Structure 1
Amino acid sequence: MNRHDRVAVVTGGSLGIGAEISTQLLDDGWTVHVLARNAGAYANAGHRSCRTHDVDVRDSRALKAAADDVAASAGQLDALILCAGIGYPTPLSSVTRDQYDELFETNVAGAVFTAQAFAPLLRDGQAVITVISSIAGRRGFADWSLYCASKHGLEGFTASIRDELRPRRIRVTSIQPGSVDTPSYDHLSAEEKAEFMEPATVAALTVQAIQLPPEAVVEVLFLNNAVGDL
């Protein structure tokens, strides 16, 4: 990639893993468009190469407007990082339709319609779509059925667009981390999260995969906790 004009869009880019990815890309000379419900809360929103867009990925019209803004300022994209997502326990005995709608609208539909909005801007032969998924897209966990189901759905979508976009030589990567100390786990104590990974750890490997030469792609990257599944 031309190191002087690399452009990325990061959804969920103001907090957690998304914020760390945004920061590491900025540090490496990228122009980064941060999409989040409160994008201005991103710690490096004032960076000269950062652009912020207040977008809820459940809002298709807002996504289209953001894509138009990015097209007007950047023209083409080198990376689209789909990091917006939510997660919380949903025991079967108490699961509600509102929880189902929130999790699937954010984790699945949000990724689908973000990819649709920005795909026309991706640079053929070079660009990367990176989907921040989860170990929950590989296996199920008790009491987390809806979250796991949404991440399994996200994995199916990712695998499908990987094949769909191959003729354009656009690479698609799924990042599947184990437990990471993100806002989804704010209900746990520090002791309970002692073996969790830091968001910066996941971000570092994600950025490495994004910056591979265009003839190579990491299609699936599973990064687990050293102590095993948590």
Structure 2
Amino acid sequence: MSESTERVAVVTGGSLGIGEAISTLLLHLGWRVHVLARRASSCAHAAHDGCIVHDVDIRDIDAIKESADTVASSSGHVDALVLCAGVGYPTPLVSVSRAQYDELCDTNVAGAVFSTQAFAPLLRDGEAVITFVSSIAGRRGFADWSLYCASKHALEGFAASIREEFRARRIRVTCIQPGSVDTPSYDHLPPEEKKEFMDARSIAELTVAAIRLPRQACVETLFINNAAGDL
């Protein structure tokens, strides 16, 4: 069933994986969805009437601000800000480089921080939801993934802090913590190694359900692990 077209979402990283699945579900519900991604124009739902694409590198703070200005001009407000843009790969300590540190932290942390800052004025008081798509790595540590885990732990800390900051505006903040999900990040793995992975739509359905809760309720943290356990 379609919802009012006045409902507006901004989804960073909305062209692939979990972000694409979230964008698709919201579009099917009748939401107007602004997708921010480096290749947003080539995403599967770019031609949908309710989809507005912004070709933006989430690490480019000026470009994020320009996108926020565009959203303000075209939509006027935001009901759901979904921070899904991210990058992850193993970084054994012995070979960690500053370039890897910068890429992971600039994307996973700074990208989320400054996207939140840019779109905060557009969030509707008493209605809006900010959703961070984090990871199991934001609550646990995994050998050889130290930088990724550090970035996701930092994201969790940021989310916990701004949750309190936004309470006065009755804007809810949710952290989604999925285990291993079959996204393009794992295209290099053979199918047998991903047989226990979750699909992106499963995470998207739960995320959208949390976004659509009545304004009096907030899922602050949603941990979705693989049925087989930590992978």
Q: TM-score, normalised by structure 2?
A: 0.98
Counterpart of 1:158, as a letter, is A
Distance in 1, matches of 2:46 and 2:52, equals 7
How far did 1:195 drift? 0.2
Contact 2:5 2:32 in 1 (8 A): no
Question: Which runs of 4 or more aligned residues in structure 1 lie more than 6 Å from their structure 2 counterparts after TM superposition?
Answer: none
How far did 1:187 drift? 2.1
Instruction: Report how many residues are paired.
Output: 229
What's the counterpart of residue 87 of structure 1?
Answer: 88
Unaligned runs of 5+ in 1: none
What's the counterpart of residue 35 of structure 1?
Answer: 36
Distance in 2, matches of 1:26 and 1:42, equals 13
Question: RMSD over aligned Cα, in angstroms?
Answer: 0.7
Identity of aligned residues (%): 71
What's the counterpart of residue 150 of structure 2?
Answer: 149
Distance in 2, matches of 1:93 and 1:81, equals 34
What's the counterpart of residue 224 of structure 1?
Answer: 225
1:32 is paired with a residue of what secondary structure? strand
Q: In the TM superposition, what whole-angstrom CA distance separates every residue of 1:125-176 from its partner, at most 9, and x where no partner exists?
A: 0000000000000000011000000000000000001000000000000000
Counterpart of 1:68, as a letter, is D
What's the counterpart of residue 190 of structure 2?
Answer: 189
Structure 2 matches for 1:56-67, cutoff 5 A?
56-67=57-68
Structure 2 matches for 1:16-55, cutoff 5 A?
16-55=17-56
Q: TM-score, normalised by structure 1?
A: 0.98
Q: In the TM superposition, what whole-angstrom CA distance separates every residue of 1:200-227 from its partner, at most 9, and x where no partner exists?
A: 0100000000000111100000000001
Distance in 2, matches of 1:160 and 1:23, equals 29
What's the counterpart of residue 109 of structure 2?
Answer: 108
Q: In the TM superposition, what whole-angstrom CA distance separates every residue of 1:6-59 from its partner, at most 9, and x where no partner exists?
A: 000000000000000000000001000000001011101000000000011100
Unaligned runs of 5+ in 2: none
Distance in 1, matches of 2:186 and 2:4, equals 36
How far did 1:181 drift? 0.7
What's the counterpart of residue 138 of structure 1?
Answer: 139
Q: 2:124 matched to 1:123? A: yes
1:111 is paired with a residue of what secondary structure? helix
